[in-house]
């Protein structure tokens, strides 16, 4: 393991706004902030959750735009989310936190009592092979998992350079009869000055330079479909 990774892991362990629950804590559903995130933030402001946050660039970008909201980035890779955690630490932000854990454990980190009202999924692995479609973060399997701890009114934001993932998500939305707020096949052409969608991750900037199209979807999580 490289020295940089070890250094980042050590810093994450020192950050008060980075949580890395152990397997036993998660498996026993004993994470103390579940249902009590307001205690950590010291307020009841709504929470924006970024799933598979990577470097936390979107959590940080949104937190800069909306200091009156709370933000939590979640990713299994500690060396990645360190960058966002470090930025929040340097800026002394009290409205940003990070959780190192698998997305499948979301319901053991949050509950319906937490004030999450929107979720961002920004450039996730599109899992292009059909055999891996269930691993897509907008698959029926994951939407069902989110509903264990998120309200039906939560807004889901997907930003991706993958046409396949965009179309797959549209099909899932249609099958589950979910409410769509926005479906944009070229978001930067449609909304070039949008403050939230204008946040650029490292990879997005690189892909835009390569001429790739960026797709955007916003839809309501909704309830479990009948039948």
pLDDT 10s digits, 139-188: 999 999 999 999 999 999 999 999 999 999 999 999 999 999 999 999 99
pLDDT score, position 81: 95
CA distance 103 to 125: 13
What is this structure's pTM? Answer: 0.96
Whether residue 21 is contained in a domain is answered as yes
Which pLDDT score, from 0 to 100, does residue 227 have?
Answer: 62
Residue ranges making up the domain that contains 173:
3-220
> What backbone phi and psi angles, to 5 degrees, belong to 17?
-105, 10
- Domain assignment of residue 183, yes or no: yes
Asked whether residue 113 is assigned to any structural domain, the reply reads yes
Catalytic residue, from 29, 39, 125, 186: name it. 125
Residue 71: inside a domain: yes
Q: What is the pLDDT of residue 143?
A: 98
Assigned domain for 175 exists: yes
- Residue 225 falls within a domain, yes or no? no
Give yes or no: 161 in active site. no
pLDDT at 4: 86
CATH number of domain containing 135: 3.40.50.150
Spans in the chain with pLDDT lower than 50: none
Is residue 179 a part of any domain in this protein? yes
Into how many domains does the chain fold? 1
Domain annotation covers residue 95: yes
CB atoms within 10 A of CB 188: 17
């Amino acid at each position: 393991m490289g020295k940089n990774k070890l250094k980042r892991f050590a810093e994450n362990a020192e950050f008060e706004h980075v949580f890395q629950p152990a397997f036993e804590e998660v498996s026993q559903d004993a994470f103390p902030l579940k249902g009590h995130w307001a205690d950590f933030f010291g307020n009841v402001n709504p929470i924006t959750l970024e799933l598979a946050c990577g470097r936390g660039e979107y959590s940080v970008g949104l937190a800069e735009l909306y200091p009156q909201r709370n933000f939590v980035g979640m990713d299994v890779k500690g060396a990645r989310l360190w960058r966002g955690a470090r930025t929040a630490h340097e800026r002394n932000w009290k409205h940003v936190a990070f959780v190192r854990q698998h997305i499948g454990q979301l319901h053991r980190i949050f509950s319906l009592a937490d004030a999450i009202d929107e979720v961002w999924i920004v450039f996730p692995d599109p899992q292009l092979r059909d055999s891996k479609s269930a691993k897509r973060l907008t698959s029926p399997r994951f939407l069902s998992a989110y509903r264990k701890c998120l309200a039906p009114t939560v807004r889901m934001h997907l930003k991706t350079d993958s046409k396949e993932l965009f179309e797959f998500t549209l099909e899932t939305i249609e099958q589950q009869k979910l409410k769509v707020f926005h479906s944009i096949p070229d978001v930067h052409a449609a909304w070039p000055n949008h403050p939230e969608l204008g946040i650029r991750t490292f990879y997005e900037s690189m892909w835009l330079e390569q001429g790739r199209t960026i797709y955007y979807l916003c839809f309501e999580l909704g309830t479990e479909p009948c039948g």
